[in-house]
Amino acid sequence: MRKQKNIALVAHDNRKKDLIEWIRFNKKKLRNHLITCTGSTGVLVEQELNNDTLGHQLMVKKMKSGPLGGDQQLGAMIAEGEIDVMVFFWDPMSAQPHDVDVKALLRLTVLYNVVTASNRSTADFIISSHLFDEDYETRLKDYSSYIQRSIDL
């Protein structure tokens, strides 16, 4: 993981306001990294990150909205090693039409050892860590024995 992180920012509708508030507070630090978002969250994030006089405009890579496949697009990026950190402000109190996709996305973050925050406190701890702005060697678990067991069956 290089000094400049690839960060995925995602929020369910009832948590978008919370994510934008967190971005506003951490804007200066986030502008040093590459940002990818799902759907409408990406539009809001890009507006917030560029809503100041800090200089250059930051482009946010926008996937489809979560229910239209955006979660799966992010999952593919995680599997390809293209995401280092994911901040996903999900709404635990509302059923989502794409809950299965959300669960799969979170499973991939664990599988590929991606730094993941699902709430404000964890996101604050992550972004305030000295590791956030440094190179970091990610260690991946070797799951080849699981694959071999499947083949042997």
Q: At 5, list the tokens.
A: 């992180």
Residue 71 known to be catalytic? yes
Q: Is 62 helix (H, G, I), strand (E, B) or coil?
A: strand
Which one is catalytic: 13, 18, 52, 71? 71
C-alpha angle 79/22/14, rounded to 5°? Answer: 80
The order of strands in the sheet holding 85-89 is 61-62, 34-37, 6-11, 85-89, 115-117
Determine which helix (DSSP H) or strand (DSSP E) holds 115, and give its type and residue range: strand 115-117
Catalytic residue numbers? Answer: 71
